[in-house]
Structure 1
Amino acid sequence: MQTRLDHALTDPSLRELPAEVNDLLRNLQAPPRLAAHLRAVHDVAHELTTWLATYPEVRFNRKTVLYGAATHDIGKIIHIEELSRPGSLHEKAGEQLLLEAGVAPQLARFAATHASWTEPGITVEDLLVSLADKVWKGKRVRELEQLLVDQLVIASGQESWQVFLDLDDQLGKLAESAGARLDFQNLY
């Protein structure tokens, strides 16, 4: 018999998470709603990283971004109340949970950095995970988007206005399909 968590992890509506993340979520007995949310953010991160291939000068690790998106809110297993209301206790707790599970620090960090994109040392990977965590539900955050535009301009040498328009177009497309992702999460 398939559990709700199994269904949330395998429903064909969205791209599946990396196998090791599925295993981790099963081992930790993650709430199905969390698994659905992680899949929605991971799906958007996949789209963003595919789009970013149009900027070949930008160096980033796609697998790292996808792993970060797939695990960014894992601390909500511990702080389950933050599944339904705002809170930030899950961030450090998630990073610690991942480290204790043997996840490399460079991957575990996204649990702690996904909501702090203005901190020093933030990378393109961090910005992409943070952006995916916003736009999956159609939310646009100008400051966050501008930080990514700035990084793309530096790497590509293109005009800021052109990069902005390119990113805006991509995020607009992603926002248009936010309703389906919200419906998917709300099933759980």
Structure 2
Amino acid sequence: MTDYSDLLSQALRAPSDPPLRPLPSPVVELLRSLDAPPRLAAHLRAVHDVAVQLVDWLERRHPRIIVDRAAVAFGAATHDIGKTVHPAELSAPGSSHEEAGRKLLLARGFGPDLARFAGTHASWAAPGTTLEDLLVSTADKVWKNKRLQELEDLLIARLVHETGGEHWEEYLALDDLLTRIGDAADGRLAFQASYPVHG
């Protein structure tokens, strides 16, 4: 019988289809120290992988846009960390994990610039939203092939503002990328579902 910590280790390292990048080492250590639910680790790994794909695309398409790659990767890898405090939100709707996650990360010594993603990943229309926030929020939707026009419009508008490009060109390019990412959603969903919410 596999124990809970073994399942967490598998969620953090096991091969998947599509392949998912490993989480950043500080996040792996944090999840282990919190004895995080294996399903949460699998989810964070899937969203992190998609966020890195978004940043890779952005850097290829618009190399002059400055994006904090490490912050996006960390934000995606920890956006739902508050669900260790509110585990019921792993399988039911709820937003209590957002502020709880931000506070948890601050208490563990992560700076406000990184902890903020736990609180902002579901509030992309709030004042002061950054490009990095929009990328994490987009990754948190498209990993499972969920498309939100309002969110995508904000990301497109930010790209148009940064580049002076045409809205339709950015729309088509982003739509093509998100469609390709979404096509692999079933594999990511199956990977996440293969791990338990509770020990």
TM-score computed with the length of structure 1 as normaliser: 0.98
Structure 1 position 59, deviation (Å): 1.6
Task: Give the match for residue 83 of structure 1.
Answer: 90
Q: Note if 1:135 corresponds to 2:142.
A: yes
SS in 2 for 1:3: helix
**Which letter maps to 1:25?**
L
Amino acid at match of 1:162: E
Q: How does 1:28-67 map to 2 (within 5 A)?
A: 28-53=34-59, 54-67=61-74
1:146 aligns with 2:153: yes
Letter in 2 for 1:26: R
Q: Distance in 2 between matches of 1:58 and 1:151?
A: 10
User: Aligned-pair distance for 1:12?
Assistant: 2.3
Aligned match of 1:69: 76
Task: Find the partner of 1:19 among 25, 28, 32.
Answer: 25
Aligned length: 188
- In structure 1, what is the equivalent of residue 124 of structure 2? 117
The CA RMSD over aligned residues, in Å, is 0.9
Shift of 1:72: 0.1
Residue type of the partner of 2:135?
L
Distance across 2 between alignment mates of 1:101 and 1:34: 18
Does residue 9 of structure 1 match 2:15?
no
Distance 1:184 1:46 in 2: 18
Amino acid at match of 2:62: Y
Match of 1:173 among 177, 180, 186: 180
Stretches of structure 1 that go unaligned for 5 or more consecutive residues are none
Matched letter for residue 4 of structure 1 = L
Give the secondary structure class of the aligned counterpart of 1:90. Answer: helix
Q: In structure 1, what residue type is equivalent to 2:78?
A: T
CA–CA distance in structure 1, aligned partners of residues 51 and 159 of structure 2: 16
Pairwise mapping of residues 85-104 of structure 1 onto structure 2 (< 5 A)? 85-104=92-111
Distance 1:98 1:30 in 2: 14
Q: Whole-Å Cα distance in 2 between the matches of residues 104 and 132 of structure 1?
A: 22
Deviations 1:57-78 (A, max 9, x none): 3221011000000000000001
The one-letter code sitting in structure 2 at the alignment partner of 1:17 is: L
Equivalent position amino acid for 1:98 in 2:
L
- Whole-Å separation in 2 of the counterparts to 1:163 and 1:57: 15
Q: Return the alpha-carbon distance in structure 2 between the equivalents of residues 55 and 146 of structure 1.
A: 17
- TM-score, normalization by structure 2: 0.93
TM-aligned CA deviation for residue 170 of structure 1: 0.3
Higher RCO structure (Cα 8 Å, ≥6 apart): 2
Q: Counterparts of 2:146 and 2:58 in 1: how far apart (Å)? A: 19
Name the amino acid aligned to 2:126: E
